[in-house]
Structure 1
């Protein structure tokens, strides 16, 4: 273990190193020279922390201490602004899962099934992200939840979860490029898919190589379009339900009566329960932005709170409209040929049923934007995850190369190049290939959320065991420790439900192929965990609470200032109206 002197110096270093990294001044004149120099290795001000890591004393550090120190001193640039975080938090999981996937879920579970399943999963995701907000605001380190699993549970957990999360989004980029090419065929079915695969690939490569600030700008625009579309759809749906559309038909709740609220009983609800869990994938990505935000202590809590509004308005509000306007036995839902087939989108079906012309093409355009947004976000997620794994010594050192623009360059290029796998879209084997690639990490989001829940529980246990007061935290989960227990329980139930559906599929016979396509992610995760144990020759299952490091990586630890700000905020709120206090609590 590190000596007291080393820990003291590490704590001091944290107050000076978690700002944007200092890079060597580029003295060359001209845009081209500056562009070339930006690809050179990032240079960081030599700190006491780095000095110890690179000195002979580094040999005395354990793997876990190296992980904590390296993740706390990342060279990523902190250029994401507050408005970027706000829109990333709102739009990160609004995509084809909502615009199209909700249609197959409606067909499987019925209106009652999707409302129950999505509501339960929404509450679990909300409590999980609240726990992540507490950890990310306290420890705005590179890798976020990957590092938290290593730090608060055990490094083998971080290794398994980190690589599984990397694979999830690594495979997602080529899949989204293919989806974008298929979406284009809504207007012209004779177009060569590979032409648009290359076009979309070049767009994503350009955005990702421009740096994190431009990723934030792109996601700001993409998310704004998606949000406006969802809000507009909800308003239009209310008009259609009340009979204000061209057909002048009052819809009311007739589809809840005929064909009814549930399509396939309890098993149908369980199946939708799994689909709902997957639809929220990407919500946790807000945690990855902590290491690239100038003032995470102020901006992250606001972004984390936006999850409540996203869930309440964009998901639940939209699902209420869809379940009211579209019968679950509509043939267009049952005959969906593609996960990005706009004709299978309940948004499009609801508008067509209402007699509104022209808008289906608009919805299809938004689906295309959503596909590009997810592809862009997948490069961000994979590059930051691979960089974090390299910093933790769980991936080749070269994979963690960061240039002077603050880009994890090697990780970005590796992800972009793999995206060219989308060129197999012209092959008749594309569906089988992508099915198996997705199966490798099909449960990744659930595993990640479970690791966040357990990490938060272990962090609170460490604080309690070491006699630390929660008042020193810059942000506390609104759901508290019990929220993480609740999120953990629901996510475990999702795994159980997925196992049941994989073993006994709805409307089909049990098969080994179907089971492994649905549940291969679990044995892959287990093999990763066991493999790391064998590699490190470690039998430890978890870190004891009294030995968990609750200091390294924290920015400007001034507990008195934090307490004073909390008191002043309460006093200021006490003089405001009840409505304003409710607004500040949720926003």
Structure 2
């Protein structure tokens, strides 16, 4: 066989060409090889995937959701949002194994959809990361106020801004280890929340069920008396908060570029997605809904202490030690998410620079793999925005920032699913088989269509809520404070489209499917095939023996 034929065969089965080593050979259109270091392993990717979206959106935002829409609406909101991000995770999984690039979905959009859409997505996502840093910093002020209000907000913001910076200026592997510890704490404590929440709901607390003001009732009292507040509009109004809570789940795609072997790491992260959704968001919101009254004045966003509903659950039932431990876990979660947002914001700028949509200097990283030119502006702007909390309440600032971030996230999720559909279309158009993929999603194409469709629908829904806000008079100020993200995306897209021009879609027949691709040794693929074969044989034996 000739050398050329051998190379073609290697590409066809996903085998690594001998001269390629373990790296990618990239061209100028999709991005050059970055200076980031591949030092992260499977557990780093899995735990960052578990922990990256578990922050103030869940721990505090569920309080505003309960207040506005009631326990059943909140529960349904998390279920719908969960199905969307589950679908998105399957698209991410398939693409980031093949194309583990620094800004992931930004570069995938550039490859498979349209450069103008990639430009709008990349810069919009960078905006969302520094908005999230600001939101997490202001959440720290709220969380710490549970213990003391003696320290001024400006001091707390400054101190923890420095801490978030310190987390990111160490070696990448140190950052990953910190996030692994944080994710382990979050993941471990959710079991305590679920078990203790069920016990408290059944009347097992020191006060024997709900607080005396609620008549000492147990069970699904709030699901019966206040299941839906403000009707269907109340449900629609909390969807941005539910989306914000789940935003960040897609960050596993950004981390994959610094992972040693995405082929092993990414499928595990994708397969564990349903566990995270079920434990944290669906069961977590359920536990809150059966233990905390939507009318509690201390809920985040109400008139009292602005505490997390998880903390209120323990306080009202007389389990004060768990209330303090829960608040400490929330503090760790919020601080951790601020660090992840700075990390991902810097990598987004690296990816934009690789595809010529940001200054070339942003690609540079030092010997430890730290992209200083992307990291410093992300930290500076994100931290600076947090000082809005000094003159406004935490709940008000949370509302502004969560609405803005939710719209950026929905746009990102839509582009991820659309890129997946376009990648598969190009794969088919160029005569390749699904079996040639190093890993394929069993849920394709319906998962991609589901994620894309609902993302578009919810962007439209948010327009409705921005024009006719819940409990407020329609005004230009309300509209822009809630919907300016979409305006920014449209402006970025139109400007980029004028600059880049070209057709509406990239021609699928001309897409280079190999130059930005990471190839894997044939031995890895053969081992995976053998593993699947053995699993199939075991299942067959079990079915034969017992059925």
Relative to the length of structure 2, the TM-score reads: 0.89
Residue 576 of structure 1 pairs with residue 542 of structure 2: no
The 5 A counterparts of 1:125-144 are: 125-144=85-104
Residue 66 of structure 1 pairs with residue 28 of structure 2: yes
Match of residue 303 from structure 1: 269
Contact residue 14 and residue 554 of structure 1 kept, 8 A: no
The 5 A counterparts of 1:500-515 are: 500-515=464-479
Match of residue 543 from structure 1: 506
Distance 1:542 1:144 in 2: 19
- The alpha-carbon distance between structure 1 residues 104 and 16, as it changes in their structure 2 partners (threshold 3 A), is farther
Contact residue 22 and residue 519 of structure 2 kept, 8 A: no
Match of residue 178 from structure 1: 138
Q: In the TM superposition, what whole-angstrom CA distance separates every residue of 1:141-192 from its partner, at most 9, and x where no partner exists?
A: 2211110010010111111000000011123223322332343232221212
Match of residue 336 from structure 2: 373
Distance 1:579 1:266 in 2: 50
RMSD: 2.9
Distance 2:468 2:540 in 1: 51
Q: In the TM superposition, what whole-angstrom CA distance separates every residue of 1:111-138 from its partner, at most 9, and x where no partner exists?
A: 2211222111111110111111000011
Task: Indicate which of 283, 305, 308 corresponds to 2:249.
Answer: 283
Q: Alignment partner of 1:332: what SS? A: coil
Q: Which moved more, 1:541-550 or 1:243-252?
A: 243-252
Residue 463 of structure 1 pairs with residue 423 of structure 2: no
Number of residue-to-residue matches in the alignment: 527
Distance 2:43 2:520 in 1: 26
Match of residue 410 from structure 1: 373
Contact residue 86 and residue 303 of structure 1 kept, 8 A: yes
Q: Alignment partner of 1:245: what SS? A: coil
Match of residue 43 from structure 1: none
Match of residue 526 from structure 1: 490
- The alpha-carbon distance between structure 1 residues 417 and 243, as it changes in their structure 2 partners (threshold 3 A), is same
Q: In the TM superposition, what whole-angstrom CA distance separates every residue of 1:360-396 from its partner, at most 9, and x where no partner exists?
A: 2222222221221111011111100011111111011
Q: In the TM superposition, what whole-angstrom CA distance separates every residue of 1:485-522 from its partner, at most 9, and x where no partner exists?
A: 01111111111211111111112211111111111111
Distance 1:188 1:441 in 2: 29
Distance 2:268 2:439 in 1: 10
Contact residue 383 and residue 411 of structure 1 kept, 8 A: yes
CA apart distance, 1:206 = 1.9
Distance 1:295 1:75 in 2: 17
Q: Which moved more, 1:349-358 or 1:393-402?
A: 349-358
Distance 1:189 1:403 in 2: 41
User: Which has the bigger relative contact order, CA under 8 A and spacing at least 6?
Assistant: 2
Task: Indicate which of 80, 87, 91 corresponds to 2:47.
Answer: 87
The 5 A counterparts of 1:92-491 are: 92-249=52-209, 251-259=218-226, 261-333=227-299, 336=302, 343-421=306-384, 424=387, 427-428=390-391, 443-491=407-455
Distance 2:392 2:69 in 1: 30
CA apart distance, 1:398 = 1.4
- The alpha-carbon distance between structure 1 residues 13 and 95, as it changes in their structure 2 partners (threshold 3 A), is same
Q: In the TM superposition, what whole-angstrom CA distance separates every residue of 1:318-372 from its partner, at most 9, and x where no partner exists?
A: 111111112223333375369xx6x431112211222212222222222221221
Distance 1:438 1:480 in 2: 30
Where does structure 2 lack aligned partners over 5 or more consecutive residues? 210-216
- The alpha-carbon distance between structure 1 residues 332 and 437, as it changes in their structure 2 partners (threshold 3 A), is closer
Where does structure 1 lack aligned partners over 5 or more consecutive residues? 21-46, 51-64, 582-587
